[in-house]
Amino acid sequence: MSLFIANAYAEGAAAAPGPSMTGQLVMLGIFALVFYFLLLRPQLKRQKEHKSLIDALQKGEEVVFAGGLIGTIQKVDGDFAVIELANGVEVKVQRASIVATLPKGTIKNI
């Protein structure tokens, strides 16, 4: 026994009941639905849109790719595209790095 602190003894009280198994399953189901509609579904939609954009690339389209550079597609070859950034300046990039297509004449107006 301590000189300054008295011993504490627990009483024989019953433990408080926890949440039921059904309640836990319902909450887990609600959490899964929220996760699907707020996170997973929008991401899958963006991936599908990006894939259709990549598949539809053609010569002559004006594009923006991941580094923020703007250019015109000169050649599409498999998973790569040759893009002309300026007169005589061509780079080869992966098609997946293209993030958007621009309307015709955008590069001339910039």
Number of domains in the chain: 1
pTM for this predicted structure: 0.70
In a domain, 5, yes or no: no
Question: So what's the pLDDT on residue 83?
Answer: 95
CA distance 62 to 2: 82
Token pair recorded at residue 10 = 């627990």
Token pair recorded at residue 38 = 């707020």
Neighbours of 37 (CB within 10 A): 10
Q: Is 63 exposed, middle or buried (0-12, 13-18, 19+ CB in 10 A)?
A: buried
In a domain, 98, yes or no: yes
Q: Which of 97, 2, 13 is nearest to 57 (CA)?
A: 97
In a domain, 92, yes or no: yes
In a domain, 3, yes or no: no
In a domain, 58, yes or no: yes
**Structural domain containing residue 83:** 22-109
More confident residue, 12 or 49: 49
Domain at 67, CATH number: 2.30.30.140
